Amino acid sequence: MPILTTLIFLPLLGAIGLLCLPDSARPVFRWVTLVLCALHLALSSWLWLSFDKQLIGYQFTETFDWITLTLGQFGVISIDYALGVDGLSLPMVWLTSLVMLVGAVSSFEIKTKEKAYFSLYLLLTGTVVGCFVALDLFLFFLFFEFMLLPMYFLVGLWGGPRREYASLKFFLYTLAGSVFILLVMIALYLSAVDPAETALSVGLVKDRAMITDQVLDQVHLAISQLQVDPAQLVHTFDLRYLSDPANYVPESLLSTMAGHEIFGMSARLLAFALLFIGFAVKLPMVPLHTWLPDAHVEAPTPISVVLAGILLKIGGYGFFRIAYELFPDGAVYFAAWIAGLGVLSIVYGAFNALSQNDLKRMIAYSSVSHMGFVLLGLAALTPEGANAAIYQLFSHGILSPMLFLVAGVIYERTHDRSIDGYRGLATPMPSYAAWTAVAFFASLGLPGFSGFIGEFFSLMGAFNSTYVPVWMVVAGGFGLVLGAGYFLWTFQRVFLGKTWTMHDTSVLTDLTFREKAMLVPLGLLSLAFGILPGTLFSITEGYVMEFLKKF
């Protein structure tokens, strides 16, 4: 069974199926979604278990020809439907399934236009998974842009009072980022070729099965000596080929050899910078982060969960998979800048979080701060740093849904998220206070929880790095302290002391079974990954080793 295709199309088919159900089946929609998401999680858990940690490179690959465009004298573009997972994408796929399942449970609170909501929700699930498993840059871009549409409507239709503004802002920011990616993509396909297909088109071999490494070397040699007629070149978007400098046509725009310059800047460095900006919007990185607090505040709880839990991860994933793998030279050149921006995100996000009165806004800024660690770890280009960056992505993917669920719990009861609206909630809602404490402490980086591993190792990686100045690491460490500050201060203000609220205290009931069912597993997972970080490191290690060979 093509497992990755199933992971993408199971939710998509589910979405279409929901649309076909009659309106009278209203109560069933949420259960269908829940079952599909549970099935999705089961499938991706199976994927995790049968993943071979020893192998280097992509596993479970599926490749089909999709679009073949002839460009006359300029050869052919071949766009493939290519899927696969490796040590980087596997945790992300599993995380997606998990967060989507949690989001599906949380979506039970949606009471209007259920059919549209759950269809869009499943559509979102499919496109996000597609983003993580796509091996063709074009396919990635397609999912990357297409996921904006369900997200746009999910925020815009079921959001808070300023939902139109927030959803359009979210859309415009991400789209502006993605057009930069599109530009680089065009330059990339014009520069790179698929050696296997080219071997076929020049008649070096008759059959795809006869392609060996020798044949590929022959093709590389012929391309590098400009012996291949341009009309016979097969241009490609396949990330596996794009990451190999030997596949770039000499004298092409992005060839490592040619050294083309645009506006007095090396074309490759410029391309890296554009990709970086494109993904930095998604991550989000200060100063491109302003859409995030608005989107979070207006989005309904399950959508906040999904947004923080997975969509931000695509930015980080894009750094690894596309910006860094294709342009290692740019990554090295800009390393100090990236680390600086990472530290800026950490500190600026933390200071902003400190000053917020809206619980969701506070959490949104804490996300910005936590994503700064990903940048810092990535910029270090050390094994610890890169592993920690992936780890931080994963850990934040577990913890931020928890944080937003916590905010959602109180919002659902009183429709008020202001921090100064409550005091001493621990007395009427003890288990809520307990699980909030777990979420907060895990997020601020208490040892034993997953947050600690990601933050600690990314600081350590940056410290060991030759690219990152020490003062930046120190400033990043200061961000950790600030993080402790805003979480503890918030916890103290909301939960401790004498009970007081401006709302009717009778609505302040403790966690329901459904809420516990979401919070408890997430908390336990965070604890599990904090105590046994090896479960994740053993998967990412192999990938990181290969990844760092490029630098």
Partner 1 sequence: MLSIISLSIFGIVNLFLGFLKSRRILLPATLLFLIVALILNSMDWNQQALYFGDMLRVNNVFVNFAGIVLITALLIVGISRHFGNDEEHTHPAEYYAILLFSVTGALMMIGFENLIMLFVGVEVLSVAMYVLTGTDKRNIRSNEAALKYFLMGSFATGLLLFGVAMVYGATGSFKLGGIASYVQMASMYGAVSPLLYVGLLFLFIGMLFKVSAAPFHFWTPDVYEGAPTIFTAFMSTVVKTAGFAAFYKIASTAFAGVYGFWAQSLAVMAVLTLLIGNITAAYQGSFKRMMAYSSISHAGYLLLAVVAKVPSSQSAILFYSLSYSLATVAAFGVLMAVSESRQFEGRGDDRYEAFNGLAKTNPLLAFVLTVSMLSLAGIPLTAGFWGKFFIFSAAVQANLTSLLVIAVLMSCVGIYYYFRVIIAMYLKPAEGEGISVSAGFTLTLVLTTVLTLLLGVFPDVVKNIF
Binding segment for partner 1 among 137-145, 280-288, 382-390, 446-454 (CB under 8 A)?
137-145
Binding test (CB under 8 A) with partner 1, winner from 11, 103, 130, 156: 156
The distance of closest approach from Cβ of residue 110 to partner 1 in the complex, given in angstroms and rounded to an integer, is: 16
Q: Token match 């990686």: residue?
A: 461
The C-alpha R_g of the chain, in whole angstroms, comes to 24
What is the token pair recorded at 195? 């050696």
Q: Which is nearer to partner 1, 130 or 401 (CB)?
A: 130
CB 82 within 8 A of CB 242: no
Binding segment for partner 1 among 171-179, 303-311, 433-441, 515-523 (CB under 8 A)?
171-179
The distance of closest approach from Cβ of residue 171 to partner 1 in the complex, given in angstroms and rounded to an integer, is: 7
Binding test (CB under 8 A) with partner 1, winner from 22, 27, 72, 264: 72
Q: Which is nearer to partner 1, 94 or 152 (CB)?
A: 152
Binding segment for partner 1 among 160-168, 300-308, 370-378, 467-475 (CB under 8 A)?
160-168
CB 161 within 8 A of CB 146: no
Q: Which is nearer to partner 1, 171 or 391 (CB)?
A: 171
Please name which of 67, 128, 62 lies closest in space to residue 99, comparing C-alpha atoms.
Answer: 128
The distance of closest approach from Cβ of residue 247 to partner 1 in the complex, given in angstroms and rounded to an integer, is: 18
Say how far apart CA 504 and CA 506 lie, in whole Å.
Answer: 5
Say how far apart CA 57 and CA 25 lie, in whole Å.
Answer: 45
Provide the strand spans (E) within 410-538: 422-423, 500-501
Q: Which is nearer to partner 1, 111 or 549 (CB)?
A: 111
Q: Which is nearer to partner 1, 158 or 449 (CB)?
A: 158
What is the token pair recorded at 225? 């000596």
Tell me the DSSP string of 190-209: HHBB-HHHHHHHHTS-SSGG
Binding test (CB under 8 A) with partner 1, winner from 73, 214, 225, 506: 73
Binding test (CB under 8 A) with partner 1, winner from 171, 291, 317, 319: 171
Looking at this protein, which amino acid is placed at residue 224?
S
Cα separation values, 105 from 75, 102, 289, 436, Å: 50, 5, 28, 18
Sign of CA dihedral 484, 490, 495, 497: positive
Please name which of 186, 141, 399, 154 lies closest in space to residue 279, comparing C-alpha atoms.
Answer: 141
The distance of closest approach from Cβ of residue 17 to partner 1 in the complex, given in angstroms and rounded to an integer, is: 18
Residues paired with residue 235 on neighbouring β-strands, in sequence order: 77, 193
Say how far apart CA 551 and CA 535 lie, in whole Å.
Answer: 26
The distance of closest approach from Cβ of residue 299 to partner 1 in the complex, given in angstroms and rounded to an integer, is: 14
Looking at residues 394 to 433 of the shown chain, list those that interact with partner 1 (rule: CB under 8 A). Answer: none
Binding test (CB under 8 A) with partner 1, winner from 30, 163, 220, 289: 163
Q: How far is CA 48 from the centre of its chain?
A: 18
Looking only at Cα atoms, what is the longest distance across the chain?
82
Instruction: Determine how β-strand 422-423 pairs with β-strand 76-85.
Output: unpaired
Cα separation values, 183 from 187, 267, 489, Å: 6, 12, 45
Q: Which is nearer to partner 1, 166 or 407 (CB)?
A: 166
Binding segment for partner 1 among 170-178, 397-405, 439-447, 468-476 (CB under 8 A)?
170-178
The distance of closest approach from Cβ of residue 67 to partner 1 in the complex, given in angstroms and rounded to an integer, is: 5
The distance of closest approach from Cβ of residue 187 to partner 1 in the complex, given in angstroms and rounded to an integer, is: 6
Half-sphere exposure for 353 (CA within 13 Å, toward CB): 30
3-state secondary structure of 133: helix
Binding test (CB under 8 A) with partner 1, winner from 69, 221, 226, 517: 69
Looking at residues 3 to 62 of the shown chain, list those that interact with partner 1 (rule: CB under 8 A). Answer: none
Q: Which is nearer to partner 1, 90 or 323 (CB)?
A: 323
Binding segment for partner 1 among 23-31, 34-42, 178-186, 209-217 (CB under 8 A)?
178-186
Contact between 329 and partner 1 per CB under 8 A: no
Say how far apart CA 458 and CA 476 lie, in whole Å.
Answer: 10
The distance of closest approach from Cβ of residue 167 to partner 1 in the complex, given in angstroms and rounded to an integer, is: 8
Say how far apart CA 318 and CA 473 lie, in whole Å.
Answer: 24
Binding test (CB under 8 A) with partner 1, winner from 25, 55, 56, 172: 172
Looking at residues 183 to 222 of the shown chain, list those that interact with partner 1 (rule: CB under 8 A). Answer: 183, 186-187, 190
Residues paired with residue 480 on neighbouring β-strands, in sequence order: none
Q: Which is nearer to partner 1, 217 or 261 (CB)?
A: 261
The distance of closest approach from Cβ of residue 260 to partner 1 in the complex, given in angstroms and rounded to an integer, is: 9
Q: Token match 């937003």: residue?
A: 404
Phi, psi of 549 (to 5 degrees): -65, -20
Say how far apart CA 400 and CA 440 lie, in whole Å.
Answer: 10
Q: Which is nearer to partner 1, 78 or 465 (CB)?
A: 78
CB 465 within 8 A of CB 385: yes
How many residues in the shown chain lie near partner 1 by CB under 8 A? 33
Contact between 512 and partner 1 per CB under 8 A: no
**Interface map 244-283 toward partner 1 (x if CB under 8 A):** ---------x--------xx--------------------
Q: Which is nearer to partner 1, 144 or 440 (CB)?
A: 144
* Helix 513-531 × helix 430-444 angle, to 10°: 30
Q: Which residues bind partner 1 (CB under 8 A)?
A: 67-74, 141-142, 145-146, 149, 153, 156-157, 163-164, 168, 171-172, 175-176, 179-180, 182-183, 186-187, 190, 253, 262-263
